[in-house]
Amino acid sequence: MDTVVNEILDGLTKAAELIITLDPEVIEITTRTLVISLSSTLLATLIAVPAGGAISLSEFRGRRALLFLIQTLYSVPTVIVGLLLFLLCSSSGPLGPLRLLFTPTGMVLGQTLLILPILLGLTVTTLDGLDRGLHDTLVSLGATWSQRLLLLLREARFALLAAVTLGFGRAISEVGVAIMIGGNIRGYTRVLTTAISLETSMGNISLSLALGIILLALALVVNLGVNLLQGGGRR
């Protein structure tokens, strides 16, 4: 018990030391983690928000089945996405010529696929949950389809921001895609989660804890930022 407590305390001390001294490797891993996760979140948002808007504003056969499928994909295991993408990107796979395997670009693609269903589903749910009167008012005022979509997205912006944060949280915390597609190559594809995994397997528990604390701190900062934005917008 004491050992565990000591390791946690060591981890905290180490984390503080690594952050205060701006340890170059930690900074590099952290920066890469942020760049990859933010890129995949941005890419998924750019796809999911318009697509979700289109689904929300449309009535078609199979809409409910599609939503059910999207919601099922919320909880798809990251290793399944990693495996699928590994097969697609391997030299004999259809995406092989793109040479995405063991690259940050491949990791961005993998994380995008991972969080796309979450953002898509939550966009549809958020827009569907808006006051029906807003839809009707816009239609009656003579809004075109695209005008309606833009104005409704604006009304739903705070809920959408929360969905994007959730997506970012899933992207930054996943290991499966990062390991299988990124390969945890030092100085190239190593991110916080894969580094934690590696250091733990090597017995460097306090370094793992330090990296974990940095990961948590990042999530905290992003959430705080989102909360501030939401609070400011609602005032």
Residues lying near another protein in the complex (CB under 8 A): 131, 133-134, 136-144, 147, 151, 154-155
| Spatial distance between the Cα atoms of 112 and 53, rounded to a whole number of angstroms | 18
Neighbours of 81 (CB within 10 A): 24
**Distance in Å, CB of 144 to another protein, minimum:** 6
**Distance in Å, CB of 149 to another protein, minimum:** 13
The amino acid that residue 111 corresponds to is Q
Among 156, 149, 164, 154, smallest CA distance to 46 is for 164
CA distances from 14 to 19, 28, 42, 206, 217 (A): 8, 17, 32, 7, 14
Which residue, 139 or 221, has its beta carbon nearer to another protein?
139
**Distance in Å, CB of 136 to another protein, minimum:** 6
Which residue, 17 or 136, has its beta carbon nearer to another protein?
136
**Distance in Å, CB of 140 to another protein, minimum:** 4
How many CA atoms lie less than 13 Å away from 185 in the CB half-sphere? 12
Which residue, 144 or 227, has its beta carbon nearer to another protein?
144
Which residue, 139 or 224, has its beta carbon nearer to another protein?
139
